[in-house]
Chains A and B, each alone.
Chain A
Amino acid sequence: MVETRPLPRARALRRTVSTVLGSRWALVGLLALIALFIAVASSMQGVTGTRMLGLIVRGVLLGGVLALGALGVTLVFGVLKMANFAHGDMMTVGAYLGLVVMSLLPAGAPVLGLGFGYEFIVALVVVMPLVGLIAYGLDRLTFRRLRQRRSAPVMMAMAALGIAFGLRSIVYMVFGADFAFYYQGRARPVVELFPGVRVRTDQLFILGLAVLLIVLVYLLLERTKVGKAMRAMADNADLARISGIPTERVVFWTWLVGGALAGAGGMLYGLDVQLRPEMGWWLLLPLFASVILGTIGNVYGALLGAFTMGIVWQVSSAFVNPAYGPAAAFVVMILALLVRPQGLMGGDR
């Protein structure tokens, strides 16, 4: 590329600055700066330490739910090199399928001091593989054909958007536009974690389950043949093929796992907050923000990103309108991209 030639020393300096600026520590520093900014801004608004702690705790809980979605997004991206814009709506589908399953079962007594009954667990167990299969089916019908044709990424993205809106419209058609709840009017037991910081036992369950699923995914990727094949394909799909790995089978498992995580994420979010047809689409931005911050395709990064974004989302409500939560995550993502486009876990340029 034809470039003007500044003095060698100036160029070396510029290069050093850009390397430093693009380093992992610079990004961590940016996040620390943002944390500082939030701390200062909220103390100026008179937010107490207790409230802040409470928000951070809520952020961690939200992060758990985001992590489930983010894992799915990053797995699909890693193996298929595709940004799945339909992931949020897959979570919505999971949430609403859960509603259907639960309506078919007789309501049970609340389990173990939590706010829900056995039917929620049963629904989770049924919905997770179901959403996984739906995700795989949609892939077979659409993305796979585009992959075989080596279509441009915009075509894949448009297909994903088409699926996203299509799924959402079906949810609207079947359930209408109103809110829905898994449980209404039920007691929601609360526990005090730290002095002044209360969480619902449901929320602890949600976090616990999210962590459990994350550990299971870790075991899948690190200890099973299929999981290793997923990582291999993410590294180099051509080499995987050359080694004889049945790539379509690996793709099946990727969608199954990604879809199942989306389904679980959707149901857990629905349990914590509420169900509405737009819920998944609203989560799409924080999901991708998490994944991009943590480097797209990187599983650990997705987790780090999700918990970070969850905390940013919740904590931002200390000094702006809570509706802007997802927007706060988005702004952090943009800033992170400016400093280090390859994210926290990406290789050095």
Chain B
Amino acid sequence: MSLLTVEGVVSGYGEMQVLRGVDLRVEEGEIVSIVGPNGAGKSTVMKLIFGLIKPWEGKVTFAGEDISGLPPEQIVRRGLCYVPQVDNVFPTLTVEENLEMGAYILDEPLKARKERVYELFPRLAERRSQRAGKMSGGERQMVAMGRALMLDPKLLMLDEPSAGLAPLLVDLIFEKVAEINRTGVAVLMVEQNAKRSLELAHRGYVLATGKNQVEGPGSQLLGDPEVARLYLGG
């Protein structure tokens, strides 16, 4: 049984349909990357899984439970955490406070969890009392990911983690994703930077015009001329 399954999902915003039947799955402990051209619906799939929009048709199952249409605060409790692409930190809160917000639903002391995040992101440890809004793009991405990791999720969803970052930082972020994955956390990633994300991923999906087009192991997709054809560069 897969950790996460998305079956035949159709949805959109208001009356505008974006997803026309998407299927995907994520197994425990694997990294799955969703790539595709702009407007393909990649971010929409993420938002749907996380309960920010409701499916018109289809189903989302997580750890054997049907979570279709549940609100985010319920989904978070089941071990699924989400890092949005933009506005993904609380700018007037410090790094430490951002992390605390990630584990708000817990009633226990958070010291151990925070330490784990600081171990993963040493740069944040140095800046823990700094306001998140004053940090650089790369550091903010780390804060955002750290916040999502506070609840020890089984699956971490990342929406374009490398967007807007300098190449050196892109390397760093992907390295960290790999490191997170090595601790047993499955990762579902939407990425514009198809090459790097497919290099990292165990499996990938190519989404275009709201539907799956191609699926397969990351390395296979990388070499596939069909994928290259589906969109320029990447």
A and B in direct contact, judged by CB atoms within 8 A: yes
| Shortest Cβ gap from A45 to chain B (Å) | 44
* A236 B101 Cβ-Cβ under 8 A: no
| Shortest Cβ gap from A243 to chain B (Å) | 5
* B105 A240 Cβ-Cβ under 8 A: no
| Shortest Cβ gap from B49 to chain A (Å) | 12
For A235, list chain B residues within 8 Å (CB).
90-93
CB under 8 Å from chain A, chain B span 132-183: 147-148, 151
* A229 B101 Cβ-Cβ under 8 A: yes
A26 within 8 A of B: no
* B92 A231 Cβ-Cβ under 8 A: yes
> Which of B71, B77, B84, B105 sits near A239, CB closer than 8 Å?
B84
* A242 B90 Cβ-Cβ under 8 A: no
* B82 A236 Cβ-Cβ under 8 A: no
A341–B101 CA distance with the chains assembled, in angstroms: 31
CB under 8 Å from chain B, chain A span 216-239: 225, 228-229, 231-232, 234-236, 238-239
A sample of 22 cross-chain residue pairs with beta-carbon separation below 8 angstroms, ordered by A number, consists of: A228-B100, A229-B104, A231-B90, A232-B93, A234-B92, A235-B92, A235-B93, A236-B90, A238-B84, A239-B84, A239-B90, A240-B101, A241-B72, A242-B82, A242-B84, A243-B101, A244-B73, A244-B77, A244-B105, A244-B151, A246-B73, A246-B105
**Among B88, B89, B93, B105, residue most surrounded by chain A Cβ atoms (within 10 Å):** B93
A229–B98 CA distance with the chains assembled, in angstroms: 10
What string of 1s and 0s marks CB contacts (under 8 Å) between A200-219 and chain B?
Answer: 00000000000000000000
**Among B71, B89, B92, B102, residue most surrounded by chain A Cβ atoms (within 10 Å):** B92
A245 within 8 A of B: yes
Across the two chains, which residue of chain B brings its CB closest to A233? B90
Interface of A, secondary structure class, is: helix
Interface of B, secondary structure class, is: loop
What string of 1s and 0s marks CB contacts (under 8 Å) between A82-110 and chain B?
Answer: 00000000000000000000000000000
For B89, list chain A residues within 8 Å (CB).
239
A241–B74 CA distance with the chains assembled, in angstroms: 10
Interface residues of B (CB under 8 A from A): 50, 52, 71-73, 76-77, 82, 84, 87-93, 97, 100-102, 104-105, 147-148, 151
| Shortest Cβ gap from B20 to chain A (Å) | 25
> Which of B52, B87, B91, B147 sits near A243, CB closer than 8 Å?
B147
A242–B102 CA distance with the chains assembled, in angstroms: 9
For A234, list chain B residues within 8 Å (CB).
92
A305–B95 CA distance with the chains assembled, in angstroms: 29
* B82 A245 Cβ-Cβ under 8 A: no
* A232 B151 Cβ-Cβ under 8 A: no
| Shortest Cβ gap from A149 to chain B (Å) | 14
* B104 A231 Cβ-Cβ under 8 A: no
* B87 A232 Cβ-Cβ under 8 A: no
For A238, list chain B residues within 8 Å (CB).
52, 84, 87
For A241, list chain B residues within 8 Å (CB).
71-73
CB under 8 Å from chain B, chain A span 244-295: 244-247
